[in-house]
Structure 1
Amino acid sequence: MAEQGLAGGRGSNWRHFGSLPNILTYGRILAVPALVASFFVTGDWGRWLAMWIFIAAGVSDFLDGYLARAWQQQSALGQMLDPIADKLIVAAALLMLAADGTIAGWSLCAGVIILSREILVSGLREFLGTLNVGVPVTKLAKWKTLVQMVAIGFLLAGSAGDKIWPYTTLFGLTLLWIAAILTIYTGYDYLRATFHHVVPEDE
């Protein structure tokens, strides 16, 4: 019976391999090199291109989860790749923004905090997964993600956006710090919620 269940699970994963939700996730992963390449495009076109690639990735992140639930096409493959795609696009954007000086000085600390939290939560999820313990996503964590995505979008527009609205970069940096503060709180929240699984209680 167990072997049949495993075979059925594998069959389900293969059936959903080419589903639209998973295709959207694949596209988000492929958007990472495109986003990086856009920073090497001279002029403002590169900044606008990077921004729109990031926005498209953000929209696809919402759609793949929504469609997977609505069409009952959730799969282990999708659950594995979805957070990986999210972290790859965010990490690539922050690294490129730091490389071109859009994020500089003390603001680099905000980027480091955000990336550190993503690594921390990924490690916690991997560890707790071996214990069959799930880590719920809180509403505050969802708000953190939204603020973070909007911040990166404004920062990707950067100098090109400043020509239309002079506070584009400043607004993006402000939101990045807000996201970093929320990141610290939600990261601590995850640690507190999983602490008793990591450290054995005294007998």
Structure 2
Amino acid sequence: MRWTLPNTLTALRLLAAPGVAVMFLYFSRPLADWFALLLFISAAVTDWFDGYIARTWSLESKLGAMLDPIADKAMVVIALMVIVGYSSMSPWLVLPATFILFREVFVSGLREFLGDTAGTLKVTKLAKWKTTFQMVAIAVLFAQGVFEHYLAVSVEGVSPEQVSAILSREAEDIHGLVWKEQGMLWAGYLGLTLLWMAAALTLITGWDYFVKAWPHLRDDR
């Protein structure tokens, strides 16, 4: 086993996955949202760097090949769990998150069952795009949480009538409510759009893996 720089980055990304959830245990919002966002983005960036370094410097290893997909799945699953947990349980968020979690469990189960023949389920380019969409979508949704809670802090002590007047541009916006609300709304729309695109790619790649695994699952072989 070689403990190389790419393997170290992958291991750090694996440790960062539960760290995203831990931020919400020890920090109040929106500080927790900021820390989770920065930690998630930093970990996601290492996902590209460790693979690039491994290929460029010929440092690919079995340990890295094993840890890399686990780290990706852990980051996505835990981050989605946190986002859904702090959401209003909107079906627009819960449904794509459910599709993504189901696919990850399903494909992991396929690989475990296939054992030595799991090499038939190699990661495809489309699956890599799926992971990219998932990472970007989750980062944007964390950003939405930042806007949402800065908005909530800004309206403390302000009457609902005055908030409504400010947001409708009928009163002076001395609290910066408009740009905070717009940031929250646009980050929400963009994040959900990207998450649904990621969910679509998730289902497509999951079906592709199932088709490839089917010959090894038939009883008449």
Structure 2 residue 78 is the aligned partner of structure 1 residue 59: no
C-alpha distance in 2 between matches for 1:68 and 1:130: 24
Structure 2 residue 181 is the aligned partner of structure 1 residue 196: no
Task: Quote the offset at 1:201 in angstroms.
Answer: 4.4
Instruction: Check whether the contact 2:7–2:50 (CA below 8 A) recurs between aligned residues.
Output: yes
C-alpha distance in 1 between matches for 2:46 and 2:88: 25
Question: What number of residue pairs does the alignment pair up?
Answer: 187
Instruction: Check whether the contact 1:50–1:157 (CA below 8 A) recurs between aligned residues.
Output: no
Instruction: Check whether the contact 1:87–1:118 (CA below 8 A) recurs between aligned residues.
Output: yes
What's the % identity of the aligned pairs? 44
User: 1:50 corresponds to which residue?
Assistant: 36
Larger relative CO (CA 8 A, sep 6+): 1 or 2?
2
Matched AA of 1:101 = S
Task: Quote the offset at 1:132 in angstroms.
Answer: 6.0
User: 1:105 corresponds to which residue?
Assistant: 91
Unmatched runs of 5 consecutive residues or more in structure 1: 1-12
Structure 2 residue 215 is the aligned partner of structure 1 residue 175: no
Structure 2 residue 17 is the aligned partner of structure 1 residue 24: no
Instruction: Check whether the contact 1:114–1:180 (CA below 8 A) recurs between aligned residues.
Output: yes
Task: Quote the offset at 1:106 in angstroms.
Answer: 4.3
Matched AA of 1:134 = T
TM-score by length of 2: 0.77
Task: Quote the offset at 1:170 in angstroms.
Answer: 2.1
Matched AA of 1:151 = A
User: 1:4 corresponds to which residue?
Assistant: none
User: 1:38 corresponds to which residue?
Assistant: 23
TM-score by length of 1: 0.83
Q: 1:132 to 1:158 in 2, by over 3 A?
A: closer
Larger radius of gyration: 2
